[in-house]
Amino acid sequence: MTRSRVFGIRAAAAVAALALVGGGVYFAQSSSAANPAAEPAATGSTVSAAATDSKDRIKFGKKYQGVATSYAADGSGACNFKPGGSMMIAALNAPDYQGALMCGAYVKVTGPGGKSIRVKIVDRCPSGTGTSGCRVNQLDLSRQAMNKLAPGQGKINVTWRLVSPKLKGPVQYVYEKGSTKWWCGVQVRNHRNPIRTVEFKTAGGWHKVARRDYNFFESKNGKGCGNTIRITDVKGNRLVDKGIKISTKVQKGKKQLPAV
| Opening angle at CA 50, ends 44 and 52, nearest 5 | 65
**By CB neighbour count within 10 A (0-12 exposed, 13-18 middle, 19+ buried), where does 258 fall?**
middle
CATH number for the domain whose boundaries are 63-163: 2.40.40.10
Task: Decide the pairing of beta strands 251-252 and 24-28.
Answer: unpaired
Domain boundaries defined on the chain: 33-52+167-252, 63-163
Confidence (pLDDT) at 101? 98
Q: Residue 58 and residue 60: Cα distance in Å, rounded?
A: 7
| Structural domain 33-52+167-252, CATH architecture | Sandwich (2.60)
- Residue 97 parent element (H or E): helix 94-97
User: Residue 114: how many CA atoms within 13 Å on its side-chain side?
Assistant: 0
Confidence (pLDDT) at 133? 82
Residue 173 · residue 229 · CB < 8 Å = yes
Q: Residue 34 and residue 13: Cα distance in Å, rounded?
A: 20
Residue 106 · residue 33 · CB < 8 Å = no
Confidence (pLDDT) at 46? 59
pTM above 0.85, yes or no: no
pLDDT single digits (tens) 142-186: 999 999 999 999 999 999 999 999 999 999 999 999 999 999 999
Q: What is the dihedral of CA 189, 195, 201, 207, to 10 degrees?
A: 130
Return the DSSP state at 148. H
Per-residue pLDDT of the chain (260 residues; tens, 9 = 90+): 434 333 333 433 333 333 333 333 222 333 333 333 333 443 566 554 444 566 899 999 999 999 999 999 999 999 999 999 999 999 999 999 999 999 999 999 999 999 999 999 999 998 876 666 899 999 999 999 999 999 999 999 999 999 999 999 999 999 999 999 999 999 999 999 999 999 999 999 999 999 999 999 999 999 999 999 999 999 999 999 999 999 999 999 999 999 99
Confidence (pLDDT) at 45? 62
Confidence (pLDDT) at 128? 72
Residue 246 CA, chain-centre distance (Å), reads: 18
